[in-house]
Structure 1
C-alpha cells in the first residue's frame, strides 16, 4: 500500500500552460467601467472592444434596459426555482412562443444560458443513435455528446464529402443526427448547410444547428445562417443563445413540439437548474422585437466586418475566409499569439487570444470582432493597432503591415 508521502497529488495537474506568463496573460481582464457600447475601462485605461459578441450593439440599448428594469421591479432578481417546478414565468412562455414563430418551429424551451441549451441536446442522443459532428463545434456541443449515449463520429470541418462517407457507412438501423454550428464561434465562417441538408435528406438524418452567433445577425429576417443560406426548413432543431445578438444572457432550444416536450422532461441542464431571471427574459423579448424590426443593425455589423477584413487583407495577414463581423487572424504559435494580444492591448484595443484547447495545437489565433455600434473611425483604429502590433512582434510582416 502506498504511503501518503508517495501518493501522487490529485491537484498536480492544476497548473496553467507555460505560455501564460503574467506579463502577457490574455484572460480575465476586469472591466471597471463601461463608457459606451464599445469602450470600457480596464486598469484605469480606456480600451476599445474588438472581441465582443454583442453584434447588434443591444446590450446597452435603452429599450432592453427599460424592459429589464421593469421586470426586476415586478418580479425581483431571480425566480428561486427551476422551470419544471416553481420557476416558470408567463414571460418565459411568451418568449418561447415568439422564438418558435420567429425561427419557423413548432415550439421552444427557454433555459438560463446558451451552454445549457446545447447540453439539453444530450437527452436526444440515445444509445441507438450515431452523431456526426463538425470538428469545429463549440465546447458545449462536445459536452452534450459526452453526456449522451449516442456514438460520436467527427468529420473534417465543413467537409461534406467525408460526411457523406460516414453517412453511407452507417448502419441502416441507426438513428442519424448531424450536429454543426451555423456561424462558427471562433473563426466566424459558416457551415455548408446546403450540402448538409442535401445529405440529411438523402440518408434520413436529422439536422441540429447551434445558432449562437448567427441568429439575429444573418439572413434577411435575422433568422440566422439557415435563412442566409436558403435552408431554413432543413434545420430540425436549433439552439440559440441570448448573450450575442440579444444583448443579455440565456438560451433556448427550438424544434418540433414533441421534441421540445421531451426536452422539458428529460434535459437535466434545464430541469435541474434555476430558470432564466425575469430581467434577462424581458431583455431578450425586447431584443427579439429589435431584431425583427431593425435590419439596419445587421447591415451595419456586416459592413463593419467587411471594412475590418478588407483593411487586414491589405496587410497580407492570413485570415479564415468569411463574410461576418468576426475575423480570425491565423498566428499558429501560442506564445506569439499572446505577444500580439499584449501589443494590441497596450495600444488600447481588447481582442481575443484563442489558444488550445479552444483551438487545436499549433493553431493559435487572434479573434477580432466588430459590431453595429463600431464606427468606421473605430474600425480603422483597430486596423492601425493590428498593423502596429504585427510590426513590433513579427518582423516578417513588416512590409505588408506598412503597405
Structure 2
C-alpha cells in the first residue's frame, strides 16, 4: 500500500499525538489496586501501635501488598494518629513503594488521638451526637462519643479531613469503619431514637456518595461492610457501589437464630459473589476467641493465643474458609488482635504462608456444609459444620 507524502505526515502526527495522550493518562491516573499473586497465600495486614514501629516491624509490614494502619497508630510518639500513620506509611514505602496503604477513619465514632478531630470539636462542641435526653451519646464503654453526621457541616468536615489525608503520597486510600453500626437501626435507635437514627443513616449515605465522587477514581476505598444481618437485603452487598471492596470481621460470630454453619455459609456466599465481581476482599479471621467484653462482631480484640500451642489445625481451617471464597484481589489476615504489642503471633509467619498455592482451577463446589476447591498446588476440603479442614499440598 502506498501513501502520498502529506498523508504520511498526517499519520505520523496522529500517531505521535496518541503516544503523548497515552503517556499523560498513565502518569495522571493512579493504579489503585494492590499487587496480587496466586504464587503463595495472598495476605493482608491490619494493625495498630500507639508508639513508633521498630525497623524490624517496618520490614515485616512492608512485605504485605495491602496494609491498614488502625486508629492510634503512632499517636503517643508523634502526637496524633494522622502524624503517626504518615510516619509509618512513609517508612514502609521506602522499602516497598508498591504497598497499598489505607488510612483508617471511622465514619461516626470519635476515637481519640486524631488531632484534627479534637480541634474541630473544640470549635464545634455541638457536633457531638446527643441522646434523647440531650446528653452526649456514648459507646458501651461510656467514654467514646460520636459525630452527628446528620449535620451537613459535620459531613463536610469529615470529607475534608479524609481528602487531605488521602492527598499525601504515602496514602493510597481509606479504610472506613462502623458502616454497619450506622446502617443497622438497632445500634443507634437505643441511644438517640428512631428519627435521629434515620437522619444519621441519610447523612452517611450522602457522605459516601460524595466520597466516591471526590476520591473514588484515584483512591482505594475499602469499607467494613459485608456482614450477614437480617436488616441487610444482601449481606451488605447493596452498599458496595460506594467502595472498591470490603474488609470482613466477625465472620464466625453472630448467628441471629441460625446455626453456626448456616450463618457462616451465608457469609461465604456473600464473599464469593463479591469477589467474583472484582471487589477487593480483606478478610480478617480471628485465631483466638473474641473477648467477652468486646463489641459484638468485632475482631479488633481477641483472646491472646498461647504462642506455644500448635495452631496448625486452626490456621488450616481459617485459610480454607478464605480459599473457598478468594478471587483475584482477595487477601487474608489470621490474627489474635490488631494491637502489635499484645499479639502473640505478631511478626510470626506460619508455614502455610510460604507454601505454593497457584491459581484456582475453578470455583468452589458445595455439598451440604462441605466445600471443595482445587488450586494448582493445593486441594482444599472444608467442613464448616464440624469446623475442620484439610489443605492437601501437591
Query: Normalized against structure 1, the TM-score is what?
Result: 0.26
Q: Which has the higher contact order (CA 8 A, sep 6+)?
A: 1
